[in-house]
A = this chain, B = another copy of it.
Amino acid sequence: MPESMTLESLQALIDGSPFLRFLGLTVTSIDPGASTVVLEATLRPELERRGASAQWHGGPLAALIDSAGDYAVALNLGAAVPTINFRVDYLRPALTATLTATARVRRSGRTVAIVDIDVADAEGRLCAIGRACYSSQPG
């Protein structure tokens, strides 16, 4: 069984992806025992829904959800895994410059892992929720 990743090694994995670096993803906390990862993303002009709206476009939120779920699986597997599918529900416009994604593995089996991801704004209001299914085999 692989060792759990550290916050630093998870951050290095994220920084290896041009797109995730562009999203400005930072790992803010990990809990290998609870298979939970918390990531933070910061708005930049290219990620806005409309010009000068200070509202996040839904696309980067979906990407944040997918990534947070992936790294929650990676935490105990030691490597990123292919996403099989995921669902996003948008609950409220995301209007703060920083967003927090909390991902928790609900079940990690031999074939697939299922993860729930909550995205909240800087005031703790839930903006979007995701449920994602990943292959259990790094690839």
Asked if B89 and A131 sit within 8 Å, CB to CB, the answer is yes
Q: Is A34 an interface residue (CB 8 A)?
A: no
User: Separation in Å of the A19 CB from the closest CB of chain B?
Assistant: 4
Asked if B66 and A59 sit within 8 Å, CB to CB, the answer is yes
What 1/0 mask marks residues of chain A from 1 to 21 whose CB sits below 8 Å from any chain B CB?
Answer: 000000000000000111110
Q: How far is A22 from B135 in the complex, measured between Cα atoms in Å?
A: 30
Q: How far is A18 from B43 in the complex, measured between Cα atoms in Å?
A: 12
Partner of A48, one of B19, B82, B116: B19
Given known contacts A48-B19, A58-B66, A60-B19, A112 and B84 CB-to-CB distance under 8 angstroms:
yes
Partner of A57, one of B49, B63, B109: B63
- Each complex incorporates copies of this chain amounting to 4
User: Separation in Å of the A10 CB from the closest CB of chain B?
Assistant: 16
Main secondary structure of the interface of A (DSSP, over half): mixed
User: Separation in Å of the A18 CB from the closest CB of chain B?
Assistant: 5
Cβ contacts A to B, 30 pairs, < 8 Å:
A16-B51, A17-B57, A18-B47, A18-B49, A18-B57, A19-B57, A19-B60, A22-B46, A22-B47, A58-B83, A59-B62, A59-B64, A60-B63, A62-B62, A62-B88, A63-B63, A83-B88, A84-B84, A84-B89, A84-B90, A85-B89, A85-B133, A89-B114, A89-B133, A91-B106, A106-B129, A111-B135, A111-B137, A112-B112, A131-B131
